[in-house]
Amino acid sequence: MSFSLTGFVQSARSAAAETRPVAAVRTLMSQTFADPQAIAKAVGSSISEDEILYEDDEVSIYWVRFAPHELVPPHNHRMHAFLGVYEGTEVNLLYRQAESGQLELAKRRVLNPGDTMSIGGDGIHAVHTEDAMPSLGFHIYLGRLSTVSRDLFDAETGRSMPFTDENYQLLLRPLV
């Protein structure tokens, strides 16, 4: 199976426009990431930071890279999110917010090359890599992620704050 970045973006746009977009995008991700080596061969490992491949009111498609030894702070998306990994290992820490405001770790989900997962619109997660290699993949969001009002959370206190670049850098932690 060959992978085309242009074809993937077109397929994601079409899936997001379906009458049942969650099911359509979930199927697309599962089929696409069934051959992670084809993706890696087509796009390589040269990504140095996240890149928006396409975005409109229905869908946002990102090429993502998680650096080793960093813990991306807990955050939400306020829309369905679909994650797929083609290189490296991505660890997702899925949280729920208790009535006290504290974050409670609900699940730890490890994504290896070829794995995908989805997070509902009310989901909160933090991300890190499993080892010294970066994690590379694609994320699809059912909406315009760059303009939605989102939250970051302090993992220790549960305190939420607006998702801004400044707050993100404030909460970004080295993986201990």
- Is the overall model pTM greater than 0.85, yes or no? yes
Residue pLDDT, tens place only, 91-139: 999 999 888 878 999 999 999 999 999 999 999 999 999 888 999 999 9
How many domains is the chain partitioned into structurally? 1
d(CA 1, CA 33): 11
Contact of 5 with 42, CB cutoff 8 Å: yes
Task: Choose the weakest-confidence range: 19-33, 54-68, 113-127, 153-167.
Answer: 153-167
Chain position carrying tokens 């405001």: 101
- Token digits for 142? 């059912």
**CATH number for the domain harbouring residue 134:** 2.60.120.10
For the stretch 130-162, pLDDT in tens is 888 999 999 999 999 999 999 999 988 888 999
| Distance set, CA 42 to CA 6, 69, 83, 99 (Å) | 11, 26, 18, 46
Domain that holds residue 156: 5-174
